[in-house]
Amino acid sequence: MAETRAPHLADLPPSPWVARWAPLIRPGGEVLDLACGSGRHARYLAALGFEVVAVDRDPGLFPEPPAGVTVLGADLETGPWPFPGRCFDAVVVTNYLFRPLLPVLAGSVEPGGVLVYETFARGNERFGKPSNPDFLLAPGELLEAVRGRLRVVAYEDLVVDTPRPAAIQRICARREEAG
């Protein structure tokens, strides 16, 4: 009998939220995939023709990046911000929350660029982990994080069923073009 295994995160399709908003990224643009884990979004975005900088505390989770992806190991919570003064055509974050980085991320989006962010929200504790309020967005928290800095294209605060039931917030927000 063949052995079955749980799908590796890199084998999962990209988040539908990331896929929905990827067309807003400047063609051939540079994307920051923050807390990239095993790189499912970095792989997806590189396949679309973007240059991706994939950052995670454990770069060993993403051992064989495809062409177009640069993997960087950095402790985003205790180390210095690895990109001071640098901006990207898009910043993509999924399933990760470190509140002190929210203003840094909004400030790391180029004029005309987008922030695509999706992570767990309050209410997720009824579905399992994460359940610690430190790792769950408060109602409207992503909206507040971009207020006055980026224009909201879309925002949702809801419960999803796939890939597993979870309470999430997600936002796509654009930095206005200069001029």
In a domain, 3, yes or no: no
Across the chain, what does the average pLDDT equal? 92
Q: pLDDT tens for residues 46-74?
A: 999 999 999 999 999 998 999 999 999 99
CA end-to-end span of the chain, whole Å? 64
Range of the domain at 46: 11-174
Q: What share of the chain is helix, strand, coil (3-state, %, to 5)?
A: 25, 30, 45
Please compute Rg for the chain using Cα positions: 16
Sign of CA dihedral 178, 108, 141, 100: negative
In a domain, 5, yes or no: no
The pLDDT assigned to 9 comes to 52
pTM, two decimal places: 0.92
Domain total of the chain = 1
In a domain, 179, yes or no: no
In a domain, 2, yes or no: no
Check pLDDT > 70 for residue 118: yes
The pLDDT assigned to 149 comes to 96
CATH of the domain at 25: 3.40.50.150
Q: pLDDT category, 163, cuts 50, 70, 90?
A: confident
* Residue position matching structure tokens 């990331």: 18
The pLDDT assigned to 6 comes to 36
- Exposure of 68 in the CB half-sphere (CA atoms within 13 A): 18
